[in-house]
Structures are given as structure tokens and as C-alpha cells.
């Protein structure tokens, strides 16, 4: 059964730009009340203004990697919004560095942001969702979490980890009315590659060609809103090449990785 989005309160992290911003605008257009979170209060305020019925939406800025801030943000959301129907764990950081050129500290930083921060916030929200009779946890993984490629060793590992964690959560809390969906974006036109971490922890600072030629964030959000509203649990939103790669991986992983080695994905 299709969900009535207009009746929902949806908390979106990483909402100050990119796909988080696009999702906030798309869900607000359909009548949902949005809780927008990210680190930059001013950017969140700008996104809020772009959302339909802007006055009813809520801004709660915080650094998702800081456990104390996450708890304070959760308390603030609970106070201001009351019930949280959906949590979309979108905040994250990507990577553009070879494994042998990446320090352990950088790998831990990526894992902290892309895995531990997501599970931490979900565990904060889940008891209330269970008490209210249900809710939805949405994890934004990546096609890189399904397929290992060059320059994304730690990132792909973190995104694969969040995918598996979501699978377990789905199995454990189904009887409590908790729905779990995982989104696997391919190349989307955002600042993800500009902000991606390199081997020493600095940001790449440039746009990848593949990212620049990817789907627009608006097109991505349109597909995601439709899929989530229909109750879909595994949602791949990507270009034809990325979708083909996921299909080849299911049939013949060795064939896929031969192709990846030849293409030299960056």
C-alpha cells in the first residue's frame, strides 16, 4: 500500500546540499514535514526556504560524527517535532584514494561517519518508533557498497557494512512495525567527489567526470520518493552502466572485476 507522504514527519541528515537537499524538497512538495539536519545552519535555512510550506519544517544542525551532538539533536527533534515517522540517514563522506595510499586514521574517519554515525542515530530513534507502533529507517548506501572499485576501498566497505546492518535490522524488528529501506545511488551530480577524502585526509577538491555526467539530484530524489512511498526496500538509483554492473555482479563477479580493472574506475 502506498504511504501517504503528506502525513509524515521525515528527518533527513546531510540535508544542506546534494541528494539530501533534493530529497527534502521533493518530500516537502508532497506535503511531508521535514526535519533538516547537517552541520551548516545557514545552508539548512536556505534549503528550508526552498521547501514548499517552509514554515512547518524544522532545522536541527549538528555534527553527526559527534555522539554527544547526535543525542542533543535527537532530543531537540523529539521536542520540536514529536513523533518521527521516517529517518533518512543520508549524511556521509566519500573517498578518492588507493588503499595503499590511505592512512588507517582516514579509513577510521570514513567508517565513523558512514557507518557508526548512521547506526548510532538509528538506535536513538528506534525505541520511539517501536513505541508509536512503527516507522521507517532509510539507509543511503551506494553502488560502491555492492561493487568494490578502485579509489573507494574504505568507502565501499562502510557502505557495504551499512547495507548488511540494515538487512539485520529489517529481520529483527519486522514484528515491531519497523520498515527498513536501503538506497544505492550511482553517480549523482553533487559535490560528493569534491568533498571526498584523499589518502591523507584532505578533500579532493575537484569534480569527477563520472559524477559530473551522473543523474541530477532532482531526478534521483524523484525516483527515491516514488520507491519509498511504494514500500520498496532495495532501491538502486543509477545510470545504465552502474545498473548493468550490479546485474553482472550477480551472475559472474569475476567477469565484473575483470571489467573494473580494465576501466579503472575513478
Catalytic residues: 155
**Nearest alpha carbon to residue 78 among 127, 114, 41:** 127
Between CA 98 and CA 158 the distance in angstroms is: 15
Cell, residue 77: 527533534
CA 30 to chain centre: 20
Cα gap 174→247, rounded to integer Å: 28
Q: Return d(Cα 175, Cα 163) in angstroms, integer.
A: 20
C-alpha cell at 100: 595503499
Amino acid at each position: 500500500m502506498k504511504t501517504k507522504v503528506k502525513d509524515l514527519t521525515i528527518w533527513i541528515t546531510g540535508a544542506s546540499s546534494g541528494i539530501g537537499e533534493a530529497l527534502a524538497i521533493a518530500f516537502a512538495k508532497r506535503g511531508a514535514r521535514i526535519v533538516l539536519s547537517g552541520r551548516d545552519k545557514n545552508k539548512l535555512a536556505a534549503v528550508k526556504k526552498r521547501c514548499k510550506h517552509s514554515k512547518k519544517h524544522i532545522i536541527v544542525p549538528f555534527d553527526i560524527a559527534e555522539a554527544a551532538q547526535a543525542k542533543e539533536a535527537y532530543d531537540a527533534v523529539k521536542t520540536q517535532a514529536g513523533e518521527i515517522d521516517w529517518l533518512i540517514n543520508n549524511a556521509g563522506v566519500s573517498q578518492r584514494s588507493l588503499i595503499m595510499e590511505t592512512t588507517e586514521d582516514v579509513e577510521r574517519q570514513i567508517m565513523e561517519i558512514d557507518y557508526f554515525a548512521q547506526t548510532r542515530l538509528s538506535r536513538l530513534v528506534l525505541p520511539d518508533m517501536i513505541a508509536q507502533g512503527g516507522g521507517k529507517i532509510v539507509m543511503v548506501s551506494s553502488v560502491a557498497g555492492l561493487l568494490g572499485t578502485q579509489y573507494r576501498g574504505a568507502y565501499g566497505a562502510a557502505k557495504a557494512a551499512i547495507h548488511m546492518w540494515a538487512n539485520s535490522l529489517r529481520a529483527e524488528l519486522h514484528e515491531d512495525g519497523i520498515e527498513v529501506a536501503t538506497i544505492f545511488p550511482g553517480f549523482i551530480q553533487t559535490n560528493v567527489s569534491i568533498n571526498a577524502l584523499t589518502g591523507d585526509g584532505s578533500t579532493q577538491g575537484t569534480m569527477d567526470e563520472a559524477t559530473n555526467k551522473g543523474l541530477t539530484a532532482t531526478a534521483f530524489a524523484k525516483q527515491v520518493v516514488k520507491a519509498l512511498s511504494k514500500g520498496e526496500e532495495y532501491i538502486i538509483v543509477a545510470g545504465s552502466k552502474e545498473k548493468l554492473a550490479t546485474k553482472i555482479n550477480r551472475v559472474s563477479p569475476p567477469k565484473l572485476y575483470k571489467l573494473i580493472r580494465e576501466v579503472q574506475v575513478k
